[in-house]
Structure 1
Amino acid sequence: MKHQSMTLNIRHDLPNDIWENMIPKVYKEMEGWLGFSQNEGIPYWFNFEEAQKHVWASVEPSGLVFEGLMKDKEWEQWKIEIKKVATQKLGFKVGEIELGEVE
């Protein structure tokens, strides 16, 4: 397993309704969903222990950042799925700006 990271074009300044209602629905549809950590309220998948296979998300000015520890093949599949689910739920194409998937 190795460290993985991506930033999606889900902006921090989207309406509160999207952050409070739609984003949690995206999170819950993803494989490995555990919930929000008790201390920081950070969303986690697979494991709360960062030494184990895990994914967590953080809202940053650049977009919604996902980081974790996962095998490359698993990570690629997880990325494909979250982009698909988010695009369906949010009503706009979700992708990685750095990869040229979206503007």
Structure 2
Amino acid sequence: MNRISAHQCNLNIWHDLPDEMWRKVADIYKAMPGWIGYHNGIPYWFGQEKDDVYIEASVELSGLSFYAQMTKSDWDSWIERFKSEATQVLGFDVGEPEDGFV
């Protein structure tokens, strides 16, 4: 079944990275499918909280955190693409700390 559900992910893109790296992350945001821009400093893709489908990101002590409402297959595809793009652009393996990425 392909229904909309909630998804969450923390990545090993830490809050204390240099500004130069965060500028690169911002460029990755803009290149990702569904990019609609920032609202009150929060990046969004596809929509916002009032919409059925959206992705948002925030920088937390635990890393770069994503929250999404969309189908699992769309989410899996989108976040894997983000990890791949970030790995290439940032120069280190980007993934979830609980999967061993530090």
> How many angstroms does 1:48 deviate by?
2.2
Residue range with higher mean Cα deviation, 79-88 or 44-53 = 44-53
Q: How does 1:63-74 map to 2 (within 5 A)?
A: 63-74=63-74
User: Is 2:24 aligned against 1:6?
Assistant: no
Q: 1:69 is aligned with what amino acid?
A: Q
Query: Do 1:22 and 1:90's aligned partners in 2 also have CA atoms closer than 8 Å?
Result: yes
Q: 2:34 is aligned with what amino acid?
A: G
Q: How does 1:5-84 map to 2 (within 5 A)?
A: 5-19=8-22, 21-37=23-39, 40-84=40-84
> How many angstroms does 1:97 deviate by?
1.3
For structure 1, the 5+ residue unaligned runs are none
RMSD: 1.1
How many pairs does the alignment contain?
A: 99
Residue range with higher mean Cα deviation, 90-99 or 3-12 = 90-99
> How many angstroms does 1:49 deviate by?
3.8
For structure 2, the 5+ residue unaligned runs are none
Percent sequence identity over aligned pairs: 44
Normalized per residue, the structure richer in strand is: 2
Q: 2:60 is aligned with what amino acid?
A: E
